Amino acid sequence: IPVPGPSLAGNSRVPGEQSPSLCILADSREISSGLEVISCLRAVHGLRVQVCSLGSSDYIVSNRLGVDRLLQSELQSPGNRNKLSQRLQRLQGIFERICVIVETDRVRSGEISRLSQRTQYYDGVLSALVQAGIKILFSSCQEETAALLKDLALLEHRKDAAIQVPTEPEGHRQHILNFYLSIPNLSYGAALNLCHSFGSITAVANSSVPALAAGAQLSRPQAEELHRFLRHDFDLQLLPQPLPAKGK
Amino acid sequence: ALTVGSIVVPYGHVIGNEKWRGSEIAQRLQGKVRLAFEDGLGLVDFLLSNRTCILLISEADLVAGDEFKRRLVKFRNASSLRGIVIVEKTLISDQYYLGVQKLVVLELGMVLLPVANQGEASQLIVQLVSFCVREQGRERGANPFVRRQRAGLAEPAALRSVQHIPGVGKAKALLLLRRFGSIHGLCNTPVSELEQVVGQTAAQQIYTF
């Protein structure tokens, strides 16, 4: 008799009752830079936070929404521009929607909070984010950031985009997950969905675009990209560096 | 009544609601952008382009109560313009900020940007206008945060993926992809054919994976 997994708990939709399985994936780097965010999400808001090596965004709050937590000082320094733009462009390739939470830097005790002049550069960065269609939220501390992440997760849950699958595959499934994670522009959430919805990699490879979109909870263009990748005809000539002929 | 949709914003201009004539923000904008006034803007404070507008919420609006919320909801329901809400976040109005953010960004799906005073608001509007101009001028590539479609090569990625199959390293991955073409092709190859390329043990491993 199949035992219902923890994922099924999320399907009950009692109005006004917070789903016990509301789940957020956090990147392992956040353990060092945003520990308070993670503990608040768990302790204050009662969310399930799965820490894993996301690589792409700082948080994943639903099947389609990736969130980056940025310090205000990062947006204020022109030296950071290239890094930031590369990171956000990459995120746009992976997620249907992206959001940045701009968090006020912590003022060290003893340091007098000086009224820093708002720069034209900072306004330019905000304008560029707005124009790129990136959602921006402002937070004054890690506790507030956690509350915003919870709000986002709740909103996505209401829109039926919440992460509903087990987030810790074991044994053989872990290897399969790693295989899916190596596919370009596929989010951690989509890889988990593939693991859960399809019996094998062969089943994924033989699926149509609509079946991939439904199984992995991807948008149509993303499902098309995945479909193309799986059926891409390998051309040795197109490898970046020709491999040295191995004459053993 | 004149609807906002019928006003054409000339390239690089900002159209301000008549009520802002002579204000600090208008004075600071003049000289930096070409500013004209119009009294038919309704709920909108500044029009930046034919599809983008600004709604300003002052410190006084925030303290006065919920009137501004009704105004935002009314705008959202009636207008197809992209609304950017600029809010005066000061020591006094700070306590209201989180509530406003929840309403504007999460519930209404609009953009919210905090400023400390009208001076900062005008500086921000100048930057927003410059991005609207670039957008209209088809210089989309100028925005560092808009994703440029790059046709990345699938070959190195496919090679990396195949190496995640137990027992398959770089050399075997290359052999397999050369012979069977794609991951799809590889998945649909019977074990007997795999054996001809990588040997019995590896073939069995790949097949079960």
Burial B130-162 (b: 16+ CB within 10 A, else e): bbbbbbeeeeeeebbbbeeeeeeebbebbbebb
In this structure, of A207-221, A231-245, B147-161, the range with the lowest mean pLDDT score is A231-245
What CATH number did the domain enclosing B184 receive? 1.10.150.20
Q: Report the pLDDT value the prediction gives residue A13, as an integer from 0 to 100.
A: 41
Q: What is the DSSP string of B71-122?
A: HHHHHHHH--SEEEEEEE--TTTHHHHHHHHIIIIIIS--EEEEESSHHHHH
> B69 and B21 in one domain?
yes
Inform me whether the pLDDT recorded for B132 exceeds 60: yes
> B176 and B122 in one domain?
no
In a domain, B49, yes or no: yes
Measured in angstroms, the CA of A141 and the nearest CA of chain B are apart by: 12
- A202 to B160: CB separation less than 8 angstroms, yes or no: no
pLDDT-derived band at A4 (thresholds 50, 70, 90) equals very low
Question: Once rounded to an integer, what is the mean pLDDT over residues B116-135?
Answer: 89
- The number of folded domains in chain B is 2
Whether the CB-CB separation of B24 and B119 falls below 8 Å is answered with yes
- pLDDT tens readout for residues A99-134: 999 999 887 665 655 556 789 999 999 999 999 999
Q: Phi first, then psi: what are they for A102, rounded to 5°?
A: -90, 110
Of the partner residues A89, A134, A182, the one whose CB lies closest to the CB of residue B161: A182
State which residues form the domain around B17. 13-136
In a domain, B4, yes or no: no
> B161 and B82 in one domain?
no
> B132 and B190 in one domain?
no
Whether the CB-CB separation of A148 and A139 falls below 8 Å is answered with yes
Checking A70-78 for CB contacts under 8 A at 24+ apart, the result is: A70/A100, A70/A101, A70/A102, A70/A103, A71/A102, A71/A103, A71/A104, A71/A105, A72/A102, A72/A103, A72/A104, A72/A105, A73/A105, A75/A102, A75/A122, A75/A125, A75/A126, A76/A116, A76/A119, A76/A121, A76/A122, A78/A121
Question: Once rounded to an integer, what is the mean pLDDT over residues A154-170?
Answer: 89
* Residues forming beta bridges with residue B114, ordered by sequence position: B87
In a domain, B8, yes or no: no
- B148 to A202: CB separation less than 8 angstroms, yes or no: no
In a domain, B160, yes or no: yes
Alpha-carbon span B72 to B178, nearest angstrom: 59
Rounded to the nearest angstrom, the gap between the alpha carbon of residue A1 and the centroid of all alpha carbons in its chain is 34
Measured in angstroms, the CA of B1 and the nearest CA of chain A are apart by: 30
- A234 to B116: CB separation less than 8 angstroms, yes or no: no
Inform me whether the pLDDT recorded for B152 exceeds 80: no
Inform me whether the pLDDT recorded for A3 exceeds 70: no
pLDDT > 90: percent of chain B: 52
pLDDT > 70: percent of chain A: 84
> B167 and B129 in one domain?
no
Inter-CA distances, A176 with A117, A164, A179, A182, B21, Å: 51, 19, 5, 10, 64
Pairing of strands A48-52, B52-57: unpaired
- The tokens for A26 are 């956090």
Q: Report the pLDDT value the prediction gives residue B198, as an integer from 0 to 100.
A: 86
- The tokens for A174 are 């872990």
Q: What is the DSSP string of A80-140?
A: GHHHHHHHHHHHHHH-SEEEEEEEPPPPPTTS----PPPPHHHHHHHHHHHHTT-EEEEES
What CATH number did the domain enclosing B52 receive? 3.40.50.10130
Given B90, B110, B136, which residue is the final one in a domain?
B136
> B201 and B169 in one domain?
yes
In a domain, B2, yes or no: no
Q: Which residue of A has its CA nearest to B178?
A: A234
Select from A80, A91, A126, A127 the residue whose CB has the most chain B CBs within 10 Å, as the one to mutate to test that interface.
Answer: A127
pLDDT-derived band at A36 (thresholds 50, 70, 90) equals very high
> B194 and B101 in one domain?
no
Q: Report the pLDDT value the prediction gives residue A6, as an integer from 0 to 100.
A: 42
- The tokens for A197 are 């919805």
> B166 and B128 in one domain?
no
User: Could you give the ipTM of this predicted complex?
Assistant: 0.88
Alpha-carbon span B153 to A233, nearest angstrom: 11
> B97 and B27 in one domain?
yes
Residue B175, chain A, CB below 8 Å: the answer is no
Question: Once rounded to an integer, what is the mean pLDDT over residues B22-26?
Answer: 92
Which is more confidently placed, B156 or A236?
B156
Inform me whether the pLDDT recorded for B2 exceeds 80: no
In this structure, of A143-147, B138-142, B199-203, the range with the lowest mean pLDDT score is B138-142
Query: Taking CB atoms and an 8 Å cutoff, what residues of chain B touch A88?
Result: 145
Q: Report the pLDDT value the prediction gives residue B13, as an integer from 0 to 100.
A: 86
Of the partner residues A93, A151, A230, the one whose CB lies closest to the CB of residue B184: A230
Residue A100, chain B, CB below 8 Å: the answer is no
- A136 to B161: CB separation less than 8 angstroms, yes or no: no
Q: Report the pLDDT value the prediction gives residue A128, as an integer from 0 to 100.
A: 93
Which of B195, B165, B169 lies closest to B183, judged by CA?
Answer: B165
Question: Once rounded to an integer, what is the mean pLDDT over residues B49-61?
Answer: 92
> B131 and B89 in one domain?
yes
In a domain, B6, yes or no: no
What average pLDDT is seen over chain B?
87
pLDDT-derived band at B149 (thresholds 50, 70, 90) equals low
> B24 and B120 in one domain?
yes
- A233 to B181: CB separation less than 8 angstroms, yes or no: yes
> B24 and B94 in one domain?
yes
Taking the CA of residue A45 as centre, how many other CA atoms within 13 Å lie in the half-sphere pointing to its CB?
26
Select from B81, B138, B184 the residue whose CB has the most chain A CBs within 10 Å, as the one to mutate to test that interface.
Answer: B184
Highest mean pLDDT (candidates B8-22, B81-95, B154-168): B81-95
Question: Once rounded to an integer, what is the mean pLDDT over residues B55-67?
Answer: 92
* Residues forming beta bridges with residue B113, ordered by sequence position: B86
Which is more confidently placed, A106 or A97?
A97
In a domain, B146, yes or no: no
Q: Report the pLDDT value the prediction gives residue A103, as an integer from 0 to 100.
A: 96
Query: Taking CB atoms and an 8 Å cutoff, what residues of chain A touch B95?
Result: none
Inform me whether the pLDDT recorded for A239 exceeds 80: no
- A182 to B154: CB separation less than 8 angstroms, yes or no: no
Q: Write out residues 124-163 of A within 8 Å (CB-CB) of B.
A: 124, 126-132, 134-138, 144, 147, 151-152, 155
In a domain, B195, yes or no: yes
A vs B: CB pairs below 8 A: 144
Question: Once rounded to an integer, what is the mean pLDDT over residues A24-45?
Answer: 94
Given B82, B107, B136, which residue is the final one in a domain?
B136
pLDDT-derived band at B151 (thresholds 50, 70, 90) equals low
Select from A232, A235, A237, A239 the residue whose CB has the most chain B CBs within 10 Å, as the one to mutate to test that interface.
Answer: A232
Give me Rg for the CA atoms of chain A.
20
Question: Of all helices (H) and strands (E), which one includes residue A70?
Answer: strand A65-71
Residue A110, chain B, CB below 8 Å: the answer is no
- B123 to A120: CB separation less than 8 angstroms, yes or no: yes
| DSSP character at residue B155 | H
pLDDT-derived band at A56 (thresholds 50, 70, 90) equals confident
